[in-house]
Amino acid sequence: MSKPKKCILLGATGSIGESSLRVIRKHPDKLKLFGASAHSQAEKLISIAQEFKVTNLHLSRSPDALGSPSLETPINFGGNGLEELAAHPEADLVVIAIVGTAALRPTLAALEAGTDVVLANKESLVLGGRIVTETARRTGARIIPADSEHNAVFQCLQGQNEKSLDSIVLTASGGAFRDLPIERLKEVTPEQSLQHPNWKMGPKVTIDSATMANKGLELIEAHWLFGLPSDKLEVVIHPPSIVHSVVRFVDGCCFAQMSPPSMTFALQNALLYPERCSGVESSLDFSKAMDLSFAPPNLKRYPCLKLARDALTQGGSAPLAFNASNEIAVDAFRLNRIGFLEISDIIDHTLNKMSHAQPNSLDELLATDSYARRLSSDRVDALGK
Ligand code: NDP
Ligand code: MG
């Protein structure tokens, strides 16, 4: 019997982190937690370390966040510790469950070390798609998608000739306000935006689902993972979140992947790939009536989706600016500094202020990212409370 894969879980304390731990807990003969990171939740990281007997630990926020740790194993802080953990020479797999742009450097570090990456984070591909995919190609490390839509596409493509792929249809739930009259969107609060109808996820991705900036980020993510241009990437609203995406082949046949709306299905597929074993949760129950409706998104309700598609079509630094600006706008909305509808205003304003030349290095990329954040913060100050 082969040894369990040694997994490093970056962002172990978040929603994707928890779902990954459920899969690892279920398959101790196949997966071993070998390292873990958190940002602020030190006590939760300690309890994960104790349960899984892990000694490679990193906390990326300052040490004073640690309080009084009751652990024999020291926790590593700050510096390049996250990248060093991601590049650990003994790791077989690095799971990127960190939210936001902070995931870019550790993703690159793992790929540079030649280690396969299970990628849940989408912002790193939107920010650094070219450099991330080029690093993987150069070192031979694989990027196994764990975002449910991209994992669905990944599953549908297994055993197919890549030349037979025509297009991809990404499904979207439509988020918290899919049925709210459009004129009432200006009143919605951060708390209401965090009530997702189908998925239990971290706060940033839940608000991104309500604006459909999430699907916009996923369009760009799909472009880098599967090499298709914008006009071969469709989006459809599918309220039950059972079909996780559809692949259309050149002969017109479509393949879809279906499972209940829980991330354990995509994560288990990615973590155990290419093996399939019994799942953490029950499969779909076809003895009961099931709705599988699909409808095109109304771009008046979801302006962030249009902005993301335009950014993908424009290329250069436009996707990066979309991502940076969205992060600033979502933070400002969560702090009640701006209204829900101003999220798209801030992104639009930032995209219009920039020239979108292609950054040629990681430093240039990060400098452009900082510039986009500055422009967006200025716009928040101009609009906000
Ligand atoms: P959460 O907010 O629940 O968790 C985020 C994790 O990242 C936590 O472990 C957090 O640490 C850590 N973290 C936060 N900021 C930093 C930082 N600056 N540096 C290092 N680590 C940090 O997010 P989710 O689990 O929901 O999402 C994670 C990623 O996966 C996102 O990119 C999201 O878009 C993507 N995704 C999520 C899905 C979901 O179902 N949740 C579905 C598909 C994709 P701590 O808690 O200790 O502060
Ligand atoms: Mg998704």
The structure tokens listed for 342 are 């101003």
155 within ligand 1 shell (Cβ under 6 A): no
Cα 162 to averaged position of ligand 1 atoms, centre (Å): 31
Whole-number pLDDT of residue 75: 85
The structure tokens listed for 377 are 């913060």
Kindly report the protein residue whose alpha carbon is nearest to atom 33 of ligand 1. Answer: 121
Question: Along the 385 residues of the chain, how does pLDDT read in single tens digits?
Answer: 689 999 999 999 999 999 999 999 999 999 999 999 999 999 999 999 999 999 899 999 876 645 545 556 678 887 899 999 999 999 999 999 999 999 999 999 999 999 999 999 999 999 999 999 999 999 999 999 999 999 999 999 999 998 999 999 999 999 999 999 999 999 999 999 999 888 889 999 999 999 999 999 999 999 999 999 999 999 999 999 999 999 999 999 999 999 999 999 999 999 999 999 999 999 999 999 999 999 999 999 999 999 999 999 999 999 999 999 999 999 999 999 999 999 999 999 999 999 999 999 999 999 999 999 999 999 999 997 7
> Which residues contact residue 360 at a Cβ distance below 8 angstroms, ignoring those fewer than 6 apart?
none
Listed in order, the ranges of the chain carrying CATH 1.10.1740.10 are: 315-385
Instruction: Give φ, ψ of 58 to 5 degrees.
Output: -140, 135
Q: Which residue has the tokens 């906390």?
A: 59
> Which residues contact residue 364 at a Cβ distance below 8 angstroms, ignoring those fewer than 6 apart?
none
Kindly report the protein residue whose alpha carbon is nearest to atom 32 of ligand 1. Answer: 121
Mutate to test the pocket of ligand 1, among 75, 205, 225, 326 (most ligand atoms within 8 A of CB): 205
Whole-number pLDDT of residue 350: 98
Kindly report the protein residue whose alpha carbon is nearest to atom 42 of ligand 1. Answer: 147
Whole-number pLDDT of residue 377: 98
Asked whether the beta carbons of 173 and 180 are under 8 A apart, the reply is no
Cα 13 to averaged position of ligand 1 atoms, centre (Å): 8
Cα 144 to averaged position of ligand 2 atoms, centre (Å): 14
Whole-number pLDDT of residue 64: 63
108 within ligand 1 shell (Cβ under 6 A): no
Listed in order, the ranges of the chain carrying CATH 3.40.50.720 are: 5-145
| Architecture label for domain 5-145 | 3-Layer(aba) Sandwich (3.40)
| Architecture label for domain 315-385 | Orthogonal Bundle (1.10)
- Where residue 358 falls (left for φ over 0; alpha for ψ -120 to 50; beta otherwise) is beta
Atom of ligand 1 nearest to the CA of 44: 47
**pLDDT digit string, tens, across residues 109-146:** 999 999 999 999 999 999 999 999 999 999 999 999 99
Whole-number pLDDT of residue 63: 63
199 within ligand 1 shell (Cβ under 6 A): yes
What pTM, to 2 d.p., does this model score? 0.96
CA 67 from chain centre, in angstroms, equals 30
Whole-number pLDDT of residue 70: 54
> Which residues contact residue 320 at a Cβ distance below 8 angstroms, ignoring those fewer than 6 apart?
126, 127, 128, 359, 365, 368, 369, 372
Cα 144 to averaged position of ligand 1 atoms, centre (Å): 17
Whole-number pLDDT of residue 39: 95
124 within ligand 1 shell (Cβ under 6 A): no
DSSP 8-state secondary structure symbol assigned to residue 181: -
Residue 308 to residue 277: CA distance in whole angstroms: 37
> Which residues contact residue 149 at a Cβ distance below 8 angstroms, ignoring those fewer than 6 apart?
170, 171, 218, 222, 244, 245
CA distances from 378 to 77, 175, 265, 326, 331 (A): 32, 28, 41, 14, 14
Kindly report the protein residue whose alpha carbon is nearest to atom 28 of ligand 1. Answer: 99
Cα 123 to averaged position of ligand 1 atoms, centre (Å): 11
